[in-house]
Structure 1
Amino acid sequence: MLSDLLVNVSILMTFIFVWHQLFRKSPLKLHSPLWIKLSDGILAGLLGIILMHYSIATNDITILDLRHVPVAIVAFFGGIVPSLIAAGVISIGRYMIDINFSSHVALFMMFFIGLGAGILSKYLTLGVWKKWTVILLYTQLIFSIALYIVSPIYSNVLYAAFLHVICTVVGGMLAFYFTLYIRKSSELFFKYREFSRIDYLTGLYNVRTFYHYYDECLKNARDNEVPCILVMMDIDHFKKINDTHGHKAGDEILKQLADIFKDNLGNEATISRNGGEEFSIIYCGKKIDQVIDITENLRKKVEHHPFKLNKTDHIQLTISIGIAQYDREMNSDDALYQEADNALYRAKEQGRNHTVVAEKIPVS
């Protein structure tokens, strides 16, 4: 009997791992979309059915297992909807085994487990482990009451009931710990992956991601003759701003400038902070005259935008812009970058707050 219940725990852990791999990008939460709650509820129900098929028989009509644990898990993370769906799927699976008094009791048992666990998850304001313990013990209580109802002589199944409580607590705690562990691991994975791509201060792409999209755009231009345009931008006199108002104020200005870029450049632009006060935009597939218009409008918006230093003070600033487009005469991957950077340098030489286009622009 003990070995059979240990099999339940093993199945529980294995299924949770596979389950998490399927939904690692959209983990179940109280405010998840309905389709995620439906999917997780169905999967939890299927797990409950599998656990029933590896159960331990205590008499001719009663079976014990850990089917209530996956219901408790989806209730904890997703609330009432997935737990009731899981309970319904498990009830259908129980009727597929046989139809008798025990299966009728199991129907009501799963309903009260699903409903109660979902309500407890939504309204309990305890810590994570305390809340889980309450939900797990509640589901076990309902299960034990159902076992008492279906057992002709309850004393005959006391040993099984005792083992079931032990395995529920041990298996439930292990399953929950494992669930938290793999959810946290995935959360950290996606977080660190995002950090490796995003500039921590501005929320724009960092220089590493810039080069990824830069190489991708160049390849597309060479292979498919799609226009690849690079825009380099630099804040005018930014060192003076830092020296006068401090680096904290400078950081705030960088964040506000990044917000202007995001609000005005749209999804077609790949915007990066390449370091310090230097930014870049990659356009893949856009015509040069369109890019010139967009960047000129952007330069004017920056020029007239009041940048806040604190609650009362603000300053005006300008940016210089250099634009270059890839052509087949460029003999290296760095050539486009160098052209745009040279155009930016000429914009600075012309007195700043200018947009300069590289001289070598392909004739369309």
Structure 2
Amino acid sequence: MIKDLFANLAILISLLFLYTQVSNRSPLTSKSSYRIKAQSGIFGGILGNVLMHYSINIGTTIIDLRLIPIILLAYFGGVVPTFISMFMVIGGRFLIGINISSYASSILVFVVAIFSVLISNSNLSKQMKQLLMLTFINISASILFIYLIEDINFLITLLPIYWIASYLSGYIAFNTVTFLRKSQELFNKYKSESMIDPLTGLNNVRKFDEIFNQTLEELEKKNKKLSLLYIDIDFFKKINDTYGHAEGDVVLKELGYILRSCTRTFDIVSRNGGEEFTVLLLDCPLDQAVQIGERIRKTVEDKPFALTQGGTVNLTVSIGVSCYSDTTKETGLIINDADKALYEAKRSGRNMLCVAHY
């Protein structure tokens, strides 16, 4: 029996770890998309059936941990994944055999699923919800055992073992999932922070390079146009020297907001370092890229940037534009050409937009 319980716990923990690695997404919540809820419910149903087949033998009776995935889904995901898992477990039980035991155990699964969903939506503490779910499993299963088993002496042996196994496996399962969810959240957080500029919330240069390279691969296959704006704040060092770096950061944040508001929702806006920004304009010809660039330049020129210490400051930007395939036929020259056009704008007096030469 101890070996069977250990094997069940090993299966439970291993499959929970495996699903976390395979799913590679944000943790399941009641607000997750229906697709994610459905996937989680299907996994829970599979896990429940696996645990049902690897049962724990106690004398002439077998018990299993099929209810654990159901209460986990109810606790973390709500109604949809719970009911998907529930129906899969019930269906799996009837595939094993149709008898009084299968009907009784299916009713148990249904009742536990309903109760767990109700408890998960309550205002109780997390620990109390978990305790009530596991206790309800034990009480409900005990009633089922008493109904099906006539040997009182065997029941006296069976029930304490089942309660201990249920509480132990439930405690381990809840803590395992909680650990995995925290690890997943931290991984997603660090992954996001490694790709996002913390000051402006825009993509950083690493993310820009990643998206740019991916875009080039698709560009050559689909033969679409791609434009790039290289943007640099004019005399930004003077702002830092005059008002301080904290006020310079305020200006950078506001410029990031302007860039997002002046571009299309699917364009890639990045801060590539210091006061240098880029906008990757997807499927955008040169004339449209120039219009967007001029809109940015004019918006910045006309806007007084508010400072935290009071007052405002005005600034301008210089912009270089390149476009595949309007200014170059080589994808490898898009960045280089935009950079050259930017410095041409700087040399020509700043506060202007220059287009790369073909």
Give the TM-score, by structure 2 length.
0.85
- In structure 2, the partner of 1:114 is 113
How far off its partner does 1:57 sit? Answer: 4.8
- In structure 2, the partner of 1:20 is 20
How far off its partner does 1:225 sit? Answer: 6.9
Equivalent residue letter for 2:251: I
Root mean square deviation of aligned Cα: 3.1
- What is the rounded CA distance, in whole Å, between the counterparts of 1:138 and 1:224 in structure 2? 58
- In structure 2, the partner of 1:67 is 66
- What is the rounded CA distance, in whole Å, between the counterparts of 2:312 and 2:143 in structure 1? 68
Moved more, 183-192 or 302-311: 302-311
Structure-2 change in CA distance of 1:296 and 1:132 (3 Å) = same
Equivalent residue letter for 1:146: L
Partners of 2:229 and 2:322 within 8 A in 1: yes
Structure-2 change in CA distance of 1:94 and 1:213 (3 Å) = closer
Give deviations 1:305-356, integer Å, cap 9, x for gaps. Answer: 34343497544432121223466698x95x6545433432332344432112
- What is the rounded CA distance, in whole Å, between the counterparts of 1:105 and 1:313 in structure 2? 75
Partners of 1:80 and 1:117 within 8 A in 2: no
How far off its partner does 1:223 sit? Answer: 8.4
Moved more, 291-300 or 160-169: 160-169
Give deviations 1:217-251, integer Å, cap 9, x for gaps. Answer: 66777888765543211122323333444333322
Instruction: Show structure 2 runs of 5+ residues with no match.
Output: none
Structure-2 change in CA distance of 1:248 and 1:143 (3 Å) = farther
- In structure 1, the partner of 2:239 is 241
Moved more, 230-239 or 114-123: 230-239
1:348 to 316, 333, 346: 346
- In structure 1, the partner of 2:83 is 84
Partners of 1:2 and 1:163 within 8 A in 2: no
- In structure 2, the partner of 1:37 is 37
- What is the rounded CA distance, in whole Å, between the counterparts of 1:199 and 1:188 in structure 2? 18
Q: Secondary structure at the match of 1:123?
A: coil
- What is the rounded CA distance, in whole Å, between the counterparts of 2:16 and 2:97 in structure 1? 27
Partners of 2:30 and 2:78 within 8 A in 1: yes
- What is the rounded CA distance, in whole Å, between the counterparts of 1:151 and 1:14 in structure 2? 33
- What is the rounded CA distance, in whole Å, between the counterparts of 2:92 and 2:215 in structure 1? 53
- In structure 2, the partner of 1:319 is 317
Partners of 2:26 and 2:188 within 8 A in 1: no
Instruction: Show structure 1 runs of 5+ residues with no match.
Output: none
- What is the rounded CA distance, in whole Å, between the counterparts of 1:89 and 1:58 in structure 2? 25
- What is the rounded CA distance, in whole Å, between the counterparts of 2:137 and 2:310 in structure 1? 57
Partners of 1:79 and 1:118 within 8 A in 2: yes
- In structure 2, the partner of 1:202 is 200
2:167 to 166, 169, 172: 169
Structure-2 change in CA distance of 1:253 and 1:172 (3 Å) = same
- In structure 1, the partner of 2:48 is 48
- What is the rounded CA distance, in whole Å, between the counterparts of 1:33 and 1:285 in structure 2? 29
Structure-2 change in CA distance of 1:100 and 1:274 (3 Å) = same
Give deviations 1:81-116, integer Å, cap 9, x for gaps. Answer: 322332232223223333333333222221221111
Partners of 2:4 and 2:57 within 8 A in 1: no
Q: Secondary structure at the match of 1:266?
A: coil
1:132-211 matches, within 5 Å, as 132-211=130-209
- What is the rounded CA distance, in whole Å, between the counterparts of 2:266 and 2:82 in structure 1? 42
Partners of 1:86 and 1:114 within 8 A in 2: no
Moved more, 336-345 or 153-162: 336-345
- What is the rounded CA distance, in whole Å, between the counterparts of 2:159 and 2:18 in structure 1? 30
Q: Secondary structure at the match of 1:257?
A: helix
- What is the rounded CA distance, in whole Å, between the counterparts of 1:4 and 1:169 in structure 2? 16
Partners of 1:299 and 1:319 within 8 A in 2: yes
Structure-2 change in CA distance of 1:8 and 1:218 (3 Å) = closer
Equivalent residue letter for 1:158: I
Give deviations 1:60-91, integer Å, cap 9, x for gaps. Answer: 6x531111111111111112332233223222
